Structure 1
């Protein structure tokens, strides 16, 4: 069976959703930032909760930008596929909800943006740190399970 990581959504404000990306052992790899829920509309909404396969995408403007920014490690953009009603859902650097365009942004620190909305900081460093493991996940036909509700073991509630 292929590996499965979990993106656990934790908090939402009017603009953004903060979460954490965890490996199969439950270790937090980074914080995540997505848009707030806006009925799964392209480029302005986070994706629906679900289980999505991870692949390497070797074309497109983000692939080119990431190859230029991270030439020593880049093997393709990280994409989640088979998202209902959506395409080109990438994991890429960015700090604020205005950077997401429906994608997932990693960060080493959770924070606030210029408009006081949820944000992640040190995104480039977080991306570089998790990228080799994301490549391994993609090459092993792995998945990321996106969850809106916190697991009972964490004592949380739904978003």
Structure 2
């Protein structure tokens, strides 16, 4: 089977359908956290990286990273594994893009930690599979940061 690249309009349509905030997983997690009595801000633009959930008083920033867009394969199995998974004519472009995004995520985490924030990074697939565990992990971080653990 021959690879036929998508037209720019097709790519634009696909990309515009991908949500950056408010996905089902994120909403479900926020709902549990709210039921636990935790109050937070969503998509807090005053911090680097715009965390998905922020507990300002506790100084806890939560990122729910999409497995694909935030390079889980690259992080866990390295660039060779990512290269094998890329079935596109411009795989070099995409590998570079994912590598830069992983580096940016690491930089954001380090910057926040240097400023005294606790950073919790979760893979979206893990949150989806174990929603309660993810909520407990976040709750523990918030309680520990506020001294109420």
Category of TM-score, reference length = shorter chain: under 0.3
Q: TM-score, normalised by structure 2?
A: 0.27
Choose between structure 1 and 2: higher helix proportion: 2
> Larger C-alpha radius of gyration, 1 or 2?
2
Choose between structure 1 and 2: higher strand proportion: 1
Q: TM-score, normalised by structure 1?
A: 0.26
